Amino acid sequence: MKKTLAGKIENKQAVVGVIGLGYVGLPLLKAFHAAGYPVVGFDVDGRKIESLKAGRNYLKHLGSDMVATMLKAGRFDATSDMKRLGECDVVIVCVPTPVGKHLEPDISFIENASNDIAATLRPGQLVVLESSTYPRTTREVMLPRFEAKGLRVGQDFFLAFSPEREDPGRKDHNTQTIPKLVGGIEPNSGELAVKLYSHAIAKIVPVSSAEVAEAAKLLENIYRAVNIAMVNEMKVILDAMDIDVWEVIEAAKTKPFGFQAFYPGPGLGGHCIPVDPFYLTWKAREVGQTTRFIELAGEVNHHMPRYVVEKTIRALNEADKATKSARVLVLGLAYKPDIDDVRESPTFDLITQLEELGVHVDYNDPHVPATHHMRRWGDLGKKSVELTAQSLATYDCVLIATNHAATDWQLVGDHAKLIVDTRNAMAKVPSVKARVVKA
Under the banding of pLDDT at 50, 70 and 90, the label for residue 169 is confident
CB of 352 closer than 8 Å to CB of 420:
no
Do 6 and 136 have their domain in common? Answer: yes
Do 51 and 162 have their domain in common? Answer: yes
Give the residue-averaged pLDDT of 248-271: 95
Domain boundary among 178, 207, 236: 207
Do 176 and 265 have their domain in common? Answer: no
Q: Which amino acid is at 79?
A: T
The reply to whether 426 falls in a domain is: yes
pLDDT of res. 378: 85
Q: What is the number of structural domains in the chain?
A: 2
Do 376 and 431 have their domain in common? Answer: yes
Summarised one tens digit per residue, pLDDT across range 285-318 is 999 999 999 999 999 999 999 999 999 999 999 9
Do 25 and 157 have their domain in common? Answer: yes
The reply to whether 190 falls in a domain is: yes
The reply to whether 326 falls in a domain is: yes
Do 108 and 16 have their domain in common? Answer: yes
Beta bridge partners of 19: 42, 93
The reply to whether 231 falls in a domain is: no
Is 64's pLDDT higher than 80? no
Q: Which amino acid is at 206?
A: P
Q: Is 93 exposed, middle or buried (0-12, 13-18, 19+ CB in 10 A)?
A: buried
Give the residue-averaged pLDDT of 47-72: 87
Beta bridge partners of 99: 105
In angstroms, how far is the first alpha carbon of the chain from the final one?
59
| DSSP-derived secondary structure letter, 157 | B
Give the residue-averaged pLDDT of 82-91: 97
CATH number reported for the structural domain that contains residue 126 in this entry: 3.40.50.720
Under the banding of pLDDT at 50, 70 and 90, the label for residue 109 is very high
Do 127 and 258 have their domain in common? Answer: no
CB of 327 closer than 8 Å to CB of 249:
no
pLDDT of res. 168: 79
Domain boundary among 158, 179, 207: 207
Do 198 and 292 have their domain in common? Answer: no
Give the residue-averaged pLDDT of 61-89: 90
- Higher pLDDT: 396 or 103? It is 396
The reply to whether 228 falls in a domain is: no
Percent of all residues in the chain with a pLDDT value above 70, rounded to a whole number? 100
CB of 370 closer than 8 Å to CB of 381:
no
The reply to whether 274 falls in a domain is: yes
Give the residue-averaged pLDDT of 176-183: 96
* Sequence-ordered list of residues with C-beta below 8 angstroms from that of 38, at least 6 positions apart, any chain: 13, 15, 16, 75, 76
Burial letters 70-91, b for 16+ CB under 10 A, else e:
bbeeebbbbbeebeebebbbbb
Is 373's pLDDT higher than 90? no
Active site residue 272: yes
Summarised one tens digit per residue, pLDDT across range 267-290 is 999 888 889 999 999 999 999 999
The reply to whether 220 falls in a domain is: no
Do 200 and 264 have their domain in common? Answer: no
Is 73's pLDDT higher than 90? no
Long-range contacts of 109-112 (CB under 8 A, 24+ apart): 109/20, 110/137, 110/141, 110/142, 111/141
Domain that holds residue 268: 245-438
pLDDT of res. 224: 95
The reply to whether 216 falls in a domain is: no
* Sequence-ordered list of residues with C-beta below 8 angstroms from that of 201, at least 6 positions apart, any chain: 31, 175, 176, 177, 178, 179, 180
Do 90 and 203 have their domain in common? Answer: yes
Do 179 and 280 have their domain in common? Answer: no
DSSP reduced 3-state for 418: strand
Is 375's pLDDT higher than 80? no
Do 17 and 151 have their domain in common? Answer: yes
Give the residue-averaged pLDDT of 21-38: 95
Domain boundary among 160, 191, 207: 207
- Higher pLDDT: 305 or 103? It is 305
CA distances from residue 248 to 22, 141, 238 in whole angstroms, order as listed: 38, 46, 9
CA angle 379, 316, 427 (to 5 degrees): 85
pLDDT of res. 31: 95
